[in-house]
Structure 1
Amino acid sequence: MKTDFKFSNLLGTVYRKGNILFTPDGTCLLSPVGNRVSVFDLVNNKSYTLPFAHRKNITRLDLTPRGNLLLSVDEDGRAILSNFPRRIVLFHFSFKSPITALKFSSSGRHFAVGLGRRLQIWHAPSVPGTERGGELEFAPFVLHLDLAGHFDAIQNIEWSSDSRFLLTASKDLTVRVWSLDREDGFEPTTLAGHRHAVKAAYFTADQESIYTISQDGALYRWKYVAKERSPDAKEENKDLRWRIVKKNLFSQSAKLKSSAFHARSNLLVVGFSNGLFGLYELPSFNMIHLLSVSQSNIDCITINNSGEWLAFGSSKLGQLLVWEWQSESYILKQQGHLNSMNALAYSPDGQRIITAADDGKIKVWDVSSGFCIVTFTEHTGGVTSCQFAKRGNVLFTSSLDGSVRAWDMIRYRNFRTFTAPSRLSFSSLAVDPSGEVVCAGSTDSFDIHIWSVQTGQLLDQLSGHEGPVVSMAFAADGSYLVSGSWDHTVRIWSIFGRTQISEPLQLQSDVLSVDFRPDGKQISAATLDGQLTFWSISDASQEHIIDGRRDVSGGRKITDRRTAANNAATKSFSSITYSADGLCILCGGNSKYICLYDVGTGSLLKKFTVSVNTSLDGTLEYLDSRDMTEGGPSALIDDVGDASDLEDRIDRTLPGVKRGDAAARTTRPEVRVAAAAFSPTGRSFCAASTEGILVYSLDTEFIFDPFDLDISITPDSILDTLQAAKQAPASASPDGNEASFLKALIMSFRLNEATLIRAVYEGIPASDIPHVVRSVPTVYLPRLLRFIVNATDETPHLEFNLLWIESLLSIHGRYFKDNSGILAPELRAVQRVIHEIRDGLKKLTERNLYELNYLLSKPLLTGKTSSVTNRIDEIEPTAVSDHV
């Protein structure tokens, strides 16, 4: 089994904190998710997470106007500069202190950051091929100006359209106008007049006016005009300065939390602390919409370049919304779990992931798109376990609300609810593979309850355990049930036999998780002392033990007085699962590591790090004395009383609570893996962690992965080769054209730039496809097949793409058959797109047939029968269908 799994995607979390922004073309939305950045493609309905990660949660990010460079900054002021289209980290930099605002200039040559009260303007890194000439720089960040003038933190920065001036809005109730370079007759100007902290300031499109917005909902319009004087005053004594020419109030009882302004269309969007947002047209201040999109603060708002889509982020509920205001419809509406996830399960086809969490919700995530497609909210308590049955058509879940529910995954509804005679909180679940029987264990009662799925009746209660039953699993053939309990025993039950006598297997510590090998001949159990124990089902004999305490141990909490190596809380596995072939076992627990073991030899194959985010507890290994004070760790010192606003000083938290809305805000989430699962194909696995659903895959594709590249291969040389092949006469050489097309295709694959490959691919004539395919080296065949599959999904050239697929499979069929194990993902993708094309054509022909039958059934106009009508009458319906 292959073990080189790579991080592929992050699901289950769509927004944490910081600002969100659109790409320059307005088709993608970037959202900070913890210490990573997720990208939501709103046109192709897909999402992906950039591969790099910060050391702490991201607070600010921004793109250059060209959309090629992404700058993201975390809570400590550490920045990562990356090439956004190719997802490559270019440079690491530290601003030495947390930043409160970040903005690239309209020209892309500078960017400004707010470091508390100071404003710094930096030269943006130059890019090869731009006007500034372009070799790569050794030091991309060069400080241009370091300005001071505000008395409190800068909250927002806005550049003018010509990149000569910029505005800074601060908590000191003022807005300042700065110039990038020294301007004749210009001095930095302070705009004062607000009574609360200024949230944002914006230039109009003509730069003749400035809008400022404060936290109390006041909108001021400023213009550079003279003070009104008496008619007798002389003209030359006019005092020109920025003055307030209009004041407006939003008339909301809640505080204004965020805003965005689209200068070209004069649209202003504001978000309030009660979840309302308003859309206004300026300067008339006409309210277009006032709607509620959340029940908590709207922390961030952004508008795409066309001004059609509005994006909202709410950190408390983890919501991310994109709304089209003209049609009043949602483009994107996603929300993660409010509390930690407890369980997850792959669907049998591997296309869905089910997550269950403490917030009582069950979410269905699409693996290919990364979006949540269904949310079930019928449970009133935390959901503890979930499992599929009936080939993925039925989902079973157990909850602390005392119910086990069955869900129809075709119609997405709850069709059966199972309860015990007395009120119990169910903590574990197991379903017979046939879907006829469901079993559940509880922490309140030590019995195992068994229900019939057909009737919903309680069939039996299995007694024997002397402690809470925390984990159960059925064998693949349904003949045996294994259960693990805190009473240090694992029991094997034959619930369909004549006698339901269990076989107790004694252990040295509490059992945390059990699982059956897919062939049903072996069981494994994870215990509190960090050991994995394996038994044979045939004779109930112990086969071997894996001691995983050293492997899983890692990470210390901020309140721990010992290092990670001496921390007993992280030395056990709470979740284990076999791989699809039964050769490996995947283990996770209250640690930052996921371990993959070989079952036969007991050796550790690979160790995956869940997160390097130091904003979470359990990611650091050693104590840092710089973070310790006389009052304890600096991160846990309550500074609520130092807030400037009364609303922020009020402490509504409950002491000792760590989860839920009443939790103390000074406690930090802990890194842990609540559950892990292999996909049915074994090509990927997912883990439910504090950060979200981490997906690791063998089929990761790199955006920029040059192959056998040399200095002569450039985009211009590739296009020149393609153009020469098109212009060369076909009669000049028997293989001349094909060789030139082949050369251009191979050069594009070596550079591996998607746009260039697409240009060469679509530039090859259909008649030359078999000749080009016949000469393609075998090392490029997987890349070519993968590209054609993606092109089939994205381009309308059905026949052209099918000609390529037909030529590849007919000419190189032997190669694909001999390497079917390695090329399985590509071959499955080819099968999928062919089925989609077939289904689409079938629907199209049926629709055309119905339309023609409808037209033929209508009476003809008297005296106006045409030859075309006569021709339609002669066509048989089947012939019409075949023709279409």
Structure 2
Amino acid sequence: MTEPIKEIAAARSVEAVYTGGTVRWSANGQKLFSTCTNVVRVIDLEDNSARFVKIDKFLPKTEFFSYTIGDSEDELRITCTAVDKNRNRLLVAYNNQVIREYTIPLDPSTTKPELARTWKTMHTAPILVLEFNEEGNLLATGSADHVVKVWNLVEQQCTHTLKGPSVVSAVVFGKNEKLVVGYLEGQLHLYNIMKGAPKKHVNTWNSHNSHITALLQVPDSRVVIALSRDQTMSIHETETQETLRVLPLYESIESGAIGHNGNLFTVGEEGVVKEWIIETAKLIRKKRISSAQIDDISYDVVSNRFLAVSAEQNLIILDFENLKITRQIVGFHDEIYSCCLLDKNEGFMAVGSNTSEIRLYNTKTLDCQLIRGHTESVLSVVSPSWDTTLLASCSKDNSIIIWRLVTTSEDSATLIPLLAATGHANTVTALAISNSAKAPFLASVSSDCTIKLWGLGDLGKMKDVKIDAERDLVEQLPKLTCSSTMVAHGKDVNCIDISESDALIATGGMDKLVKLWQIDTHKMQLGIGGTLSGHRRGVGDVKFAKHSHKLASCSGDMTIRIWNIAEKSCLQTISGHSCAVFRVIFARNDTQLVSADSAGIIKIWTIKTADCESTIEGHTDKIWSLSKNRDESEFVTAGTDGRIVVWKDVTEEKQKIEDEKRREAIEQDQTLTNLLSQKRYSDALIFALTLAKPFCAFKVINALMSEDSPEELSSSIRRLDMRQIEVLLQFCVKWNTNSRSSPVAQRVFYEIIHIIEPDRLVSMPGAYGYIESLLPYTQRHMDRLDRAKQDVSLFDFVWRQMRSAV
């Protein structure tokens, strides 16, 4: 593509679908209701295809979720949700202690849930727990105010208010109208909620000394299981009120679920799903599914699957039979540092973020896999142009890992680790891979102020390595050998790039300098190539031009500089950003630049004139990643707000739309001219009002007022319907603000109030607003006319006196 970029628009994006809280299954086990701050996202687990929503005048935008329940503009925050047993009602509790009930249709794909009712619970603190009884006619609400309220949903009234010793953390309905409540400090209270019961609080169990995280009713029994962070579970009989057992689980438990086989499944701080026999707490099987803590697990009997929710807001779907991960959904990217397109068709995208896993996305379906390898945040991911199945990643754990993309099916792939590189004494901040495969190499920079060169000549000979998931991956992989190391900058090194010929490397650091490094590819050695100085703040990014001896750099001083590499001089300084510029890339045969800053603003520049062609508010916070696809038809940005946005060049589409608008305007002007020349004024007025063109309407009314017949304007206005009258009144308000056009406005308003009955005029939407807008300017015009009349009278008197004196 060679045409200059004038406009880009969002084509696809990865948005937050879960930001913490509760996630519920739908009735058929095909959808999830996940909490996302102030709305509930509905995620379709069966349909992997992306959903297109029209949000841009040029392009539809792809979203991951099916639809949203609630108003995204609402300032309230959701604290918890609940779905009844039949899963035809969704209850949502907000931080103002209000509950909204939504009716879930049988086929949510055709009809969205509707708000059935809203009620205030009278709790004095946020509601933390919502729980239905088995029949779905009772609801328990547990709050941070230490109170549990029981609601009869049929009669729509609160039947019980139960005060406890501390913050409510778990609630479950037992058999024979019993209610068990768990508290933050480890107490368990048993309540009798039968109507007319003489005593509500019937027993207290002190089996735990820490947070009760889950209460589970064992099916077809009167037994309730309590799970706690004190690494134990307790089993209680609600009818006899006795504690049957207290058993050790050797892990701080966060959540649990009972499968169809009657066994207990727990998750906790280890990131492992464990299956236990309830009576003896015998561990049957376990499987690690996350490197982070797992906060919740729930079982869906219809689809025979588990849903696990990690502390990093990832949703993991597990098959019951073998605990195999069948789907992974990233609920929310905390902060994204780097994105890289993979595969020859660019069908996958690797994402490095503020987590130790690499997120591997399918760019079409937006489905994701979490690839474990690093132990700390991944700061950069890059792929060579000569083999798009290779990926290099670096991390705050001071290491580098080389991966290979292996396609497992048409829409699925994974990353297989090949090599690791260790040697940097601090965080590895950025990577770059050679542009040619003749003498391939990897260059890395670090917060230890050094640059390292790693030869990749033996990469093709690598064999698969057996990996132990319980051990550190970097320790198990074969190691790359560093061929050259040099101290690059006086402070942290932020960025690196390699020239198209693989002869030079450019680095930028917090010492405000851009440095050049020569590469001897035969010996794989670095040499000093020069220093480019001029920036007044740390350098955020450097990029070589592909087809010229130029280098672009951007900085915290809010400028972009273009350098002549041969002469080591600054050719151009481009200003326009209002804050630090973090990323810059060349586009359109090095004739344009695309830059991104710390405020989330993207700018497109024409280098020759230093003109900004377009400014886009792409993100709400810092943009850390800016990249492009091979043909420069799309750009990918990501940053601190956790969003990944794919932008498409819509210059051609915009030009077509503008050309179409101009053609329509010419046709409309010609039609209006024809109507006026034929003296078809009534038709011309209707045409102008239909197109909402005030100047055209003004010309038509002027022509009607200049006609010999004074009834012509009145008859033309009588032909208008109420919508056209409303548009004409809006025009009158604008015309009345100018003394030149006010006579037309006054005449039109005079005709309208004499033609339309007062009741109809007042019932028109915005009628009072039109009158209020007309009055002050009308009064001003009247005052001006009064003064003119006085001046004329005075002039006439003086003139007569002068003539009589003569």
TM-score bracket, shorter-length normalisation: 0.5 to 0.7
Structure 1 distance, partners of 2:337, 2:83, is: 36
- Which of the numbers 483, 493, 497 marks the counterpart of 1:473? 497
What displacement does 1:360 show?
5.9
CA distance in 1, matches of 2:425, 2:631: 39
- In structure 2, C-alpha distance between the alignment counterparts of 1:350 and 1:3, rounded to whole Å: 19
Secondary structure at the aligned position of 2:612 is classed as coil
Contact 1:441 1:468 in 2 (8 A): no
- 1:479-494 alignment runs, 5 A limit: 481-491=505-515
Residue 176 (1) aligns with residue 172 (2):
no
1:192 to 191, 198, 204: 204
Task: Within 5 Å, give how 1:824-839 maps onto structure 2.
Answer: none
CA distance in 2, matches of 1:447, 1:257: 43
TM-score of the superposed pair, with normalisation by structure 1? 0.52
Superposed CA offset, 1:731-777 (max 9, x none): xxxxxxxxxxxxxxxxxxxxxxxxxxxxxxxxxxxxxxxxxxxxxxx
Alpha-carbon distance in structure 2 between the residues aligned to 1:428 and 1:419: 14
User: Which residue number in structure 2 is paired with residue 20 of structure 1?
Assistant: 23
Alignment CA distance shift 1:255-1:488 (3 Å): closer
1:598 aligns with 604
Do 1:342 and 1:383's aligned partners in 2 also have CA atoms closer than 8 Å? yes
Which moved further from structure 2: 427-436 or 294-303?
Answer: 294-303
The one-letter code of the counterpart of 1:598 is: I
1:839-859 deviations in Å (ceiling 9; x for gaps): xxxxxxxxxxxxxxxxxxxxx
Residue 165 (structure 2) pairs with residue 151 (structure 1): yes
Structure 1 residue matching 2:557: 3-state secondary structure: coil
Distance 2:275 2:395 in 1: 42
With over 3 angstroms needed to count, the CA separation of the structure-2 counterparts of 1:165 and 1:387, relative to structure 1, is same
Q: CA deviation at 1:24?
A: 1.8
Report how far residue 677 of structure 1 moved: 3.3
Aligned twin of 1:365: 361
Quickly say closer, same or farther: Cα 1:30–1:462, change in 2 above 3 A: same
Q: How does 1:128-143 map to 2 (within 5 A)?
A: none
1:607 aligns to what? 617
Is the CA contact 2:430–2:444 (under 8 Å) kept in the aligned structure 1?
Answer: yes
Query: Given the alignment of the two structures, is residue 311 of structure 1 paired with residue 325 of structure 2, yes or no?
Result: no
Query: In the alignment, does 2:609 pair up with 1:585?
Result: no
- CA gap of 1:38–1:370, structure 2 versus 1, over 3 A, is farther
- For the residues of structure 2 that align with 1:391 and 1:75, how far apart are their CA atoms? 51
Give 1:751-830 correspondences, 5 Å limit.
none
SS in 1 for 2:249: coil
Tell me which amino acid in the other structure corresponds to 1:300: D
Please tell me whether the aligned partners of residues 328 and 368 of structure 2 are also in contact (alpha carbons under 8 angstroms): no
Q: Which residue of 2 aligns with 1:572?
A: 580
- Is 2:627 the counterpart of 1:677? yes
Taking the aligned partners of 1:185 and 1:382, their CA distance within structure 2 comes to 56
Q: Which residue of 1 aligns with 2:142?
A: 114
| Distance in structure 1 (CA, Å) of the matches to 2:634 and 2:134 | 42
Contact 2:247 2:280 in 1 (8 A): no
Q: Deviations over 1:569-589 (max 9, x none)?
A: xx4233344568875624143
Matched residue, 1:8: 13
- Which structure 2 residues correspond to residues 437-836 of structure 1 after superposition, within 5 A? 437-438=440-441, 440=443, 442-443=445-446, 448-454=451-457, 468-475=492-499, 481-491=505-515, 501-502=529-530, 504=532, 506-516=534-544, 523-534=551-562, 542-549=571-578, 571-577=579-585, 585-589=594-598, 593-600=599-606, 601-602=611-612, 605-610=615-620, 672-680=622-630, 686-690=636-640, 692=642, 694-696=644-646
Cα separation, 1, equivalents of 2:212 and 2:370? 40
Quick one: structure 1 residues 536 and 504, their matched pair in 2 at CA, closer, same or farther if it must change by over 3 Å?
A: closer
Aligned equivalents of 1:575, 1:93: Cα separation in 2: 49
For 2:152 and 2:565, the matched residues in 1 are separated by: 68
Counterpart of 2:580, as a letter, is S
- Distance in 1, Cα, partners of 2:227 & 2:576: 60
Do the aligned residues in 2 keep the contact of 1:154 with 1:169 (CA within 8 Å)?
A: yes
SS where residue 193 of structure 2 aligns?
A: strand
1:840 paired residue number = none
Residue pair 2:97, 2:126 contacting (<8 A) in 1 also: yes
Mapped contact 1:446–1:468 kept (Cα < 8 A): yes
Letter in 2 for 1:526: C
Is structure 2 residue 401 aligned with structure 1 residue 387?
A: no
1:213 equivalent in alignment to 2:226:
yes
Note the aligned Cα RMSD (angstroms). 5.2
Q: What is the CA-CA distance between 1:513 and the residue it aligns to?
A: 1.4
Q: 1:544 to 1:689 in 2, by over 3 A?
A: closer
Identity of matched residues, %: 14
Unmatched runs of 5 consecutive residues or more in structure 1? 125-131, 133-140, 224-241, 550-570, 611-670, 700-884
Q: CA deviation at 1:219?
A: 3.8
Q: AA paired with 2:13? A: S
Displacement after TM superposition at 1:403 (Å): 5.9
Aligned twin of 1:713: none
The one-letter amino acid paired with 1:150 is G
Give per-residue Cα distances to partners, 1:316-347, cap 9 Å, x unaligned: x6665444444454444678999965433222
Q: 1:249: Cα distance to partner? A: 2.9
TM-score, L = length of structure 2: 0.57
* Residues 619, 641 of structure 2: 8 Å contact kept: no
Partner of 2:431: 429
Q: CA deviation at 1:304?
A: 0.6
Say which SS state the counterpart of residue 599 (structure 1) adopts. Answer: strand
The letter for the 2-side match of 1:20 is V
How many corresponding residue pairs? 570
Give the CA deviation at 1:151. Answer: 3.1
Tell me if the contact between 1:471 and 1:513 (Cα under 8 Å) persists in the aligned partners.
Answer: yes
**In structure 1, distance between residues paired with 2:269 and 2:484:** 52
Contact 2:191 2:203 in 1 (8 A): yes
Query: 3-state SS of the aligned residue for 2:301?
Result: coil
Give the greater-gyration-radius structure (CA). Answer: 2
Shift of 1:597: 0.9
Residues 79-108 of structure 1: CA distance to partner in whole angstroms, max 9, x if unpaired?
Answer: 787787578996999977322102356676
More strand by share: 2
SS at structure 2 position matched to 1:152: coil
Q: Deviations over 1:190-215 (max 9, x none)?
A: 34334336555555666x73525253
Within-5 A mapping of 1:266-345: 266-271=262-267, 279=275, 289-291=284-286, 293=288, 298-306=294-302, 308-315=304-311, 320-327=315-322, 329-332=324-327, 342-345=337-340
User: Distance in 2 between the 1:584 and 1:269 partners?
Assistant: 54
1:249 aligns with 2:252: no
> Does the CA contact (< 8 Å) of 2:269 and 2:294 recur in 1?
yes
CA gap of 1:335–1:64, structure 2 versus 1, over 3 A, is same
Q: Relative to 1, partners in 2 of residues 1:201 and 1:380: Cα closer, same or farther, differing over 3 Å?
A: closer
Q: Could you tell me how far apart the structure 2 residues matched to 1:440 and 1:271 are?
A: 41
**Deviation at residue 114 of structure 1 after TM alignment:** 1.8
